Amino acid sequence: MNYNEPLYRPPAEANSLILQVTLGCSFNKCSFCSMYETKKFEIKSIDKIMKEIDEFSIYKDVRRVFLADGDALACDTKFLVQILSYLKKSFPKLQRVASYASPYNLLEKTQEELNLLRENGLSLVYYGIESGNHELLKYINKPMKPSKMVEGINKAHYANMKISATVILGLGGKKLSIQHIEDTAKLVSECEHINYLSTLQLGVSSTKEDDFFKRFENKNQEFVFCNDKDILEEQKRFINLITPKSPIIFRSNHASNALALKGTLPKDKDELLETLDKAIEDGSILRPKFLRGF
C-alpha cells in the first residue's frame, strides 16, 4: 500500500491497519499543529477506498482498523457507513474501528448519525481537547467553546463510543498556566464519561512558531514556555482538580512527556500526585530532552 505521507496515527493504534479515508485535516488551522500543513484536505473516492480494502483483505487476522487522516468524521455519514460495512465484510475478525474526531465533527453529526456509525462498527474516537480555557483556545486558533466540547464528547458517549481525549500541558505558557489547567480540569469533570485521558507536552515546530507567537502577541500576551518544573506543577494541579463522574484511565506516556504516568482516576490520584512530587524534587528521573518528541 502506498500511503499519502505524512501519515499519523495515535500510539494505541500501532498494531492497527491504517486506512486513509481522507487526506489531511478539514480544519487545519490550529496554530500549534504542523501535522497536515503540507496537505490539502481531500476525501478519497469510495471506489478507491473499497479497492484499498480489497488489497488489505489478504490479512484475514485484522482485528483493528484506524481511519486516517486527520478527521474521517468530516465525511458524510452514509459514506462512512459504506466503508464500515465493507470493513466488517472484509475482515471477519474485526473488533474495533477508530478515528480522530474534531470538536467540529461531533457537533455537526446528529445523535442519530453517531448512533448509526457506532452500530456499524465505529467504536472509538480520539478527541483533542487541548485546553478548556476559551480565551486560550482562541489564541491557538481553535475557537471552540468549552461547553460545546462537553456537548460533543457527551454525544459520542451517548452513542456508546469510547472516547480517548488529549490535553496539552504548557499550552498557555507560564502566564496562562493556572487558567489553562483549572478550566481544562473543569471541562473534563463536566463530561458524562471519558474513557481514556492523556496529556502531551507542548511542542511547536519551526514552521509554526511565527504564527503561534503572533497570535498571543495580537492578544497582548507574551508567550513564555514552561520549563519541566512548571509542566510537572501543571500536571499535579490538573490531576488534583479532576473530579470525573466515572473512572478515567489516565496516561502521560506520549514521547513528548518528561514524566510517564499511568493510573485510573480518581482511584490512583494520591499515588500519581506522590510520583509527581518526587519528580519535582528530583529532576534526574525525568526523560532526557533528547529522547522527547511531539
- Lowest-confidence range among 122-131, 159-168, 203-212? 203-212
Average pLDDT of span 98-102: 96
Q: Is residue 170 part of a domain?
A: yes
Q: Is the pLDDT of residue 194 over 70?
A: yes
Which one is predicted more confidently, 253 or 279?
Answer: 279
Q: Confirm whether 119 is domain-assigned.
A: yes
Look at residue 140 and tell me whether its pLDDT is greater than 80: yes
pLDDT of residue 101: 95
Mean pLDDT of 161-166: 98
CA distance 88 to 285: 45
Is the pTM higher than 0.85? yes
pLDDT for 82: 98
What is 22-70 written as a DSSP string?
EES-SS---TT--TTTT---EEPPHHHHHHHHHHHTT-TT--EEEEESS
Calculate mean pLDDT across residues 119-143.
96
The terminus-to-terminus CA distance of the chain in angstroms comes to: 26
Element (H, E) at 117: helix 111-119
Omega into 270 within 30° of 0, i.e. cis? no
Q: Which residue has better confidence, 218 or 158?
A: 158
* Residue 156 grid coordinates: 459520542
pLDDT of residue 287 exceeding 90, the answer is: no
Residue 293, domain member (yes or no): no
Domain containing 244: what range?
11-281
**Residue 109 forms part of a structural domain:** yes
Query: Kindly report the CA angle at 187 between 181 and 188, in degrees rounded to 5?
Result: 90
Q: Is residue 256 part of a domain?
A: yes
Band of residue 291 on the pLDDT scale cut at 50, 70, 90:
confident
Question: Is residue 210 in a domain?
Answer: yes
Confidence check: pLDDT of 293 > 80: no
For residue 238, pLDDT beyond 80: yes
Into how many domains does the chain fold? 1
Q: Mean of the per-residue pLDDT values for the chain?
A: 94
Give CA–CA dist 225/214, Å, rounded: 14
Say if CB 141 and CB 215 are below 8 A apart.
Answer: yes
Given a cut of 80, whether residue 80 has pLDDT beyond it is yes
In the chain, % of residues over pLDDT 70: 99
* Domain assignment of residue 5, yes or no: no
Average pLDDT of the residues in 46-50: 97
Residue 235 sits in a domain of what CATH number? 3.20.20.70
pLDDT at 294: 63
139 occurs within a structural domain:
yes
